[in-house]
Structure 1
Amino acid sequence: MKTPVFAFGTRSAQRTFAVVLLALAISVIGGGVAAAIVGGFRINLTPSEPLGLWRIAALDRPAARGDLVFICPPQTVAMVQARERGYLRSGTCPGGVAPLIKTVVAVAGQHVEIGAGVMIDGRPIASSDLIAQDGKGRPMKPFPGGIVPDESVFLHSPLRGSYDSRYFGPLPASGILGLAQPVLTYAP
């Protein structure tokens, strides 16, 4: 008995084989990405925190000062403009943006003052100086300051020029997806 031989001698058969192979590769890669997202893993490609693989860990209590969190920003005018300017990456949050990774520096009831930098309840926040314009020369309007509203958080990233609450103000705590935990990261 002869062993069957599969020959792809015709261009049509070769093309069909290539399309099937490509579809299989896309489904395997897509399935892996979907599993990672469903499993709470995210890849950070922004300079706000170290580059690499991060995990969203459950947060079973209210957010507190010092928590490093993943948060989906609300669809506000400031966030739409941020998306248009390229400050926010594409992702799975409402509005098609990626979750932000930021540190909670103030919670509801705390007083935020914005000057050359940020002060919370009269205490300066390290590495919080403001920039007057972005990398393309467009003006950056700072948040005017005030009391953090109920069920909201004020967020910070120590990177100079990071787009955080210095510019967009407090965000609803309901947007917090969980704590941000590095899994495999690289900080240059």
Structure 2
Amino acid sequence: MRRTRTRIVAGVACAGVAVLALAAAGARVNTSKSIPLGLYWASSAPVDKGVYILFCPPQRSVFDDARDRGYIGAGFCPGGYGYMMKRVVATRDDTVAVADDGVRVNGELLAHSAPIRTDRSGRALPRYRSGRYKLGESELLPMSDASATSFDARYFGPIERAQIRSVLRPLITW
């Protein structure tokens, strides 16, 4: 009995070390609805439209509320925020507009981008307000392409490139 318990503890410890080693090497697991579920690899590839990114949210009150309400996790980013994963849908010189029917990039309406007025608990959601906005040199727009209920740029607006920690390459998704 004691020998079996020791083997179980040793096996769990080895699995834990393996997971930590993979994370240190660049493996990232996404379990949120923001991007497809799965295993991703962090890289230093260039940030451009269409790539998935891992970023630290900027310190703004909208992210304080998001963390307090459970839209984003607590973590090691400044402000005590957890990392976020999204797809880059707009970059420098792209024109962005957020309206009742959704987010438009250069006039094209993005799928799953209509802002929702309230969360599941009936609390009003924030809304990034812009008529038409041209992204600056260091700005980009992170959005979900996988979920209409994701907490993304339609609620908080563009972020700065300095917030990005890595580009994520999908390894296995479902």
What interval of TM-score do these two structures reach, taking the shorter chain for normalisation? 0.7 to 0.9
1: distance between equivalents of 2:78 and 2:41? 20
Structure 1 consecutive aligned stretches of length 4 or more whose deviation exceeds 6 Å: none
Question: In angstroms, what is the RMSD of aligned CA positions?
Answer: 2.5
How many positions carry a matched residue from both structures? 169
Q: 1:87 aligns with which of 67, 71, 78?
A: 71
Residue 161 (1) aligns with residue 146 (2):
no
* Structure number, greater radius of gyration: 1
- The CA deviation string for residues 129-152 of structure 1, in whole angstroms up to 9 with x for no partner, is 111111111111210123323312
1: distance between equivalents of 2:31 and 2:72? 11
Counterpart in the other structure of 2:60: 76
- TM-score computed with the length of structure 1 as normaliser: 0.77
Q: 2:36 aligns with which of 50, 65, 76?
A: 50
What is the CA-CA distance between 1:154 and the residue it aligns to?
A: 0.7
What is the CA-CA distance between 1:33 and the residue it aligns to?
A: 2.7
Identity %: 31
Structure 1, 164-173 or 75-84: larger mean CA deviation = 75-84
- Runs of 5+ consecutive residues of structure 2 not aligned to the other structure: none
2: distance between equivalents of 1:91 and 1:32? 21
Matches within 5 A, 1:132-143: 132-143=117-128
2: distance between equivalents of 1:133 and 1:161? 10
Q: Give the SS at the match of 2:149.
A: coil
- TM-score computed with the length of structure 2 as normaliser: 0.82
